[in-house]
Amino acid sequence: MTIDTRKLHSQQLRSMNFQGDALRMGMNWTEEDLAKPQILIDSAYGMGHPGTFHFRPLIEEISNGVFEAGGKPGVFYTSDICDGVAQATSGMSYSLVSRDVMAAMVEIHALGHPHDGMVLLSGNDKSVPAHLSAIARCGIPAIHVPGGTQLNAPDYFTSNKLWPFGMEVDRGRKTHEELFERQKNACPTCGACQFMGSASTGQVISEAIGLALPGSALIPAPLSMLLRYARAAGKRVLELIRLGITPDKILTRKAFENAIAVHAAVGGSTNALLHLPAMAHEIGVDLTIDDFDRIHRRVPVIANVKTTGKYPVEYFYYAGGVPKVMLEIRDLLHLDCLTVTGKTVGENLAEIEHSYFFDERLGYLRNYKIAPTEIIRTRAEPFGTEGGIAILRGNLAPDGAMIKAFSVPKEMHVHTGPARVFDGEQACLEALRRTAIKAGDVMVIRYEGPRANGMPEMYFAAAVLAADPVLGRSTALITDGRFSGAMQGPSIGHVSPEAIDGGPIALIEEGDLIEINIPTRSLAIVGIHGERAAETEVTRVLTERRARWIPRPAGHDRGILGLYSRVATEAARGGELTPRTPGSAPPKRATEPAIATTAAPPRQNVAPRRRDAGDGPTGSRTNNGPSRGTNGSRGRVVIADYDFEDVDIERAIIEGAGFELVPEQCKTENDVISAARDAVAVITQYARVGARAISAFTRCQVIARYGTGVDIVDVEAATKRGIQVTNAPNDWCADEVADHAITLWLAAARKITQYASATKRGEWRWQTGQPIHRLRGRVFGLLSFGAIARGIADRARAFGVEIWVHDPFVEEDDIRRAGARPVSFDELVRGSDYLVIQAPLTSETRGLFDEEVLRKMKREAILVNTARGPIVVDTALYRALKEGWIAGAGLDDIEEEPAKRFDWQADNPLFRLDNVIITPHAAYYSEESIRAVREIASNEVIRVLTGQRPLSPVNFIEAQAAMH
């Protein structure tokens, strides 16, 4: 079947624009050329670094392929800067934002002119993620061509080693002549650098996610094989047009999970935590840093590649490259994902496995007499049992921070040390030069995040640290900046929120004790000025410091960095310059009319109202009275998100008091800022209202939370801004949650779901759910003993069980007086036949029930969680249930609340098991409790806005003057 050119955008435009043909014939286009499918060939070609300098022959081959397949190529360029050239200078601040600028230029080229498809050629740190994001954003048939890698340098030397080498010259331990000898041979050919840094990782991801041809990533640049792949890509894009295969058919959530899995297996660059979420957001997939942590926990590292491994990337390609890695972990991949071949991942791998693909490449490797399994291991003998990335959280990084755990010495996986605080990398480098950093220190480099300084890499400091035989195994580095993809050692980056937004990293003082705990995924301030302190004391001190803290101006107030400092998202959201609003339409193509010709339908009252991120003033909150709503109301009250069918209850209360109600469905903090910048009040269910959103609010008086928990609201930031925070009192749903906990326990213990499923299959056997035990006399454990937990205990006693309780915040005598037995956490885990979690979510309880804890439970135990989902690690629970560590579970939530995602799919492996019951939050089940919590939140808003004190305050703010 041929392409119907009448349906092509390029041909439709010719009937609307009569100048375009003439202009292109001015470039010697023929009449036949004008009638062909128009293919954009956009590349990062330039003279900034060796990764793009060799692109001209590749561009010609792509063009040849397009011509051969019946298309007309149009060649455009947007070159990139080099992180290695800009490193450790002010130019490094331009690196991350250049990704989004490049993506925008490709968007302009692709959609500003009438292109039907595109082939993008790139191979380096920011150009590859820029091109992949542009493919996701533009939506036209597209294929990516990875630019290849350098050949290996003498002595396996790689250019990243020049940083510590140069420091040795500064200290007089090496000569300038020795340095120059290394410099002139470190990059012997064109191509990406010879280690699994950001450039190589980007090429791997392009292939793994399905946008590049199988086997095309990381080809050594001098090989003619790279030219053949370039021509094949030019031909293939015409097939994508003919078949109607657009990026949205390829870039599914499963495809992104495949990319993360391969990223884990190769020990890829930490910068992927910025690039993949940004790319996913372009296509409407809500990918987060927690997805990396979840997937990296179950995927082993099997690639022995520099910098964490031994061999250069050239040898990795000869050992089988990305296809070999994907075959080794195929059981961890979604094999049904579509790719640019028009076939699925599974079909591509099967085809490669039964071809000469590996024979051809292994022949190169035999020249070096290296066994392929030395470079790409089997699953049975991995280099690391888990992938390289771990996401840490705690009072130092509430929104997360990352570490390349695979490269960290084991002795540094748990470390506590005094903070050495530097406001910028240069001060830290000077301390390193003076050998002022001592073993055990924790260096903190701050005000280097996206908004403060463009989020440059702290690579110089990290490289010097890692190269030091003492400091590299005893000293840590923490920053709100980022690191090179070649980083290794105990370096923690992407701390969010960043310092300039008032993140806790801004409050650290010299000598404070910082604890890093990779196994528990925690990063916390645990002491003040060298002395250990209780969590409550640390919180008190940080609150005092926050009251004294004065926000610093951004490092840039003009040009592209000035714009970036105003609008960039935090590192945990990709550090994006142009974040997409969920539910928004993709960019318009050149053939779409610029002005609508028919009237828009009337806006429904409950439809979410979207505003541009730049709407409204910025800066500190004012108290000049409420903003007037669009209907002349007393101000706008924004519902950030909700999962009810309508907002009629809220509307009756809020509009009845003279305010305008604006319902939204925000999924990110950027959405909240966009929707509620000038609102007088915000009501939220799951949407996070963090410090950055609160600092952007210009008129907000009150933030009301549906329900009791307020972990999604930064109460400290709200208090500092004089914003009241309210929630629902504990008793609004206490009985209902207690009822639900007992229901889950009984259903799981009596294995009701297994019996029901068997019966519906036509089986009638008493023994279907065996073994089942009597409830009477068995141990019923409770983690926490608050009001809801006491209600659960009261109900459970009717079944004759013995109640055990662990709650360090309740006196043991109080537990005994309630008829329960106080026990330690270890006793509770090991001794309970039924264990119900009703504890609050804190940095200590997040991820508490991991594999280590679950393995301690009885094999016949039942676990019930009616608290917060993240207390139990989904992957660990899946293994526990699948492999029989425990007998069953009942969950009132999963690790990541699905209502927080606009692209949620039921692909959690727990859903495939029949010995676990999973329900949404019980508190929102009944009509009575739903109505109660909605009325409570709405009435609290009106109380605050009319000068009254709230009935259920979370913080203490002087009542606002009544509005008139």
Query: What is the DSSP track for 281-293?
Result: HHHT----HHHHH
With helix as H, strand as E and coil as C, how does 894-937 read? CCCCHHHCCCCCCCCHHHHCCCEEECCCHHHCCHHHHHHHHHHH
| Residue 15: active-site member | no
Cα–Cα nearest to 142, from 213, 75, 201: 213
Question: Contact at 8 Å (CB) between 302 and 204?
Answer: no
Dihedral sign of CA atoms 755, 759, 764, 768 in order: negative
Work out the burial of residue 609: count CB atoms within 10 Å of its CB; fewer than 13 is exposed, 13-18 middle, 19 or more buried. Answer: middle
* CB contact at 8 A, 102 and 211: no
Token pair listed for 894: 């999963």
693 Cα distance to chain centroid: 18
Contacts of 927 (CB under 8 A, 6+ apart): none
Strand spans (E) along 155-219: none
**Residue 291 amino acid letter:** D
Instruction: Tell me which DSSP letter residue 473 carries.
Output: G
| Bridge partners, 121 (sequence order) | 43, 145
Residue with tokens 């913080």: 955
Q: Are 477 and 446 contacting, i.e. CB atoms less than 8 angstroms apart? A: no
Burial of 89 from C-beta contacts in 10 A (0-12 / 13-18 / 19+): exposed
- Catalytic residue, candidates 122, 200, 484, 491: 484
Distance CA 389, CA 276 (A): 14
Please report the DSSP string for 607-660 in residue order.
SPPP--TT-S--SS---S-PPPPTTS-S-EEEE----SS--HHHHHHHHHTT-E
Distance CA 846, CA 840 (A): 9
- Phi, psi at 445, each rounded to 5°: -110, 115
DSSP 573: G
What order do you get walking across the sheet with 888-891 strand by strand?
A: 821-822, 802-806, 779-783, 834-837, 862-865, 888-891, 916-918
Q: How far apart are CA 297 and CA 303, in angstroms?
A: 16
| DSSP assignments along 758-786, one per residue | HHHTT---TTTT-----STTSEEEEE--S
From CA 706, how far away is CA 193, in angstroms rounded? 51
Give 62-127 as a 3 state SS string: HHHHHHHCCCEEEEEECCCCCHHHHCCCHHHHHHHHHHHHHHHHHHHHHHHCCCCEEEEEECCCCH
The answer to whether residues 484 and 192 touch, using CB atoms and an 8 Å cutoff, is no
Axis-axis angle for helices 253-266, 272-283 (nearest 10): 170
Separation CA 430–CA 446 (nearest Å): 15
Q: Are 343 and 351 in contact (CB under 8 A)?
A: yes
Tokens standing for 544? 């005092």
CA distances to 85, 269, 279, 656 from 130, in Å: 19, 16, 8, 49
Q: Where are the beta strands (DSSP E) in 236-329?
A: none
**Rounded CA separation 769/786 (Å):** 33
Strands 513-517 and 522-528: antiparallel
Residue found by looking up tokens 């392409």 in the block: 3
Q: Which residues are catalytic?
A: 484
